[in-house]
Chain A
Amino acid sequence: MPEWLRELKRIYLVIYGCVIILVIVFMPEGLWGYAKLLGRRFARVMALPAAPRAIQVGGRGAPGEEILRVEKLTKRFGGLVAVDEVDLTVRRGEAHALIGPNGSGKTTCINLLSGLYVPTAGRIRFLGQEIGGQRPSRIAVSGMARSFQNLRLFRELSVWENVLVGAHRGGGHEAETRTRALAAIEFVGLSDKAHEICRNLPYGHQKLVELARAIAGEPELLLLDEPGAGLNQTEKQELVRLLKRLNEMGLTILIVEHDMSLVSSVASVATVLNFGKKIAEGTVDEVLRHSAVVEAYLGNREVALGV
Chain B
Amino acid sequence: MSAVSHAQAPSGKRFQPGYLALAIGAVVVAALPLLFTTRYSTNLLVLGAAMCIGTLGLVVVLGYAGQISLAQAAFYGIGAYAVALGTTRWEINWWLALLLGLLVAGAAGAILGMATLKLGGHYLAMVTICFQVIFTLIATNWIALTGGPDGISNIKRPPFFVPINTTQRYAWFALAALLLVGGLVWWLRNTVLGRSMRAIRENEIAAEALGVNTPRVKVIAFTISAVIGALGGRNLCLRLSLHQPGHIQLRSRGGIPGHGAGGRYRIRPGRHPGSQPAHLLAGVAA
Contact = CB atoms under 8 A, between A and B. Distances in A.
A35 B261 CA distance: 13
A31 B257 CA distance: 13
Given A31-B274, A48-B12, A137 B211 contact: yes
B93 to A, nearest CB: 37
Contacts of B209: 114-116, 136-137, 140, 145-146, 148, 152
Nearest to B209: A136
A61 interface: no
A189 to B, nearest CB: 16
Interface string A133-144: 001111011000
Interface stretch (B174-182, B221-229, B237-245, B265-273): B265-273
B19 to A, nearest CB: 10
Nearest to A191: B12
Contacts of B269: 156-157
B199 interface: yes
A32 B202 contact: no
A31 B261 contact: yes
Contacts of A44: 14-15
Interface residues of A, number: 65
A277 interface: no
Q: How large is the interface on B (under 10, 10 to 19, 20 to 34, 35 or more residues)?
A: 35 or more
Contacts of B192: 168, 174, 177
Interface in B19-72: 21, 40
A145 B209 CA distance: 7
Nearest to B189: A161
Contact of A157 (B202, B213, B257, B262): B202
Q: Which 3 A-B pairs have the closest CB atoms?
A: A32-B274, A30-B263, A154-B202
Interface of B: 2-18, 21, 40, 191-192, 195-196, 198-199, 202-203, 205-214, 257, 260-264, 268-275, 277-278, 281, 285
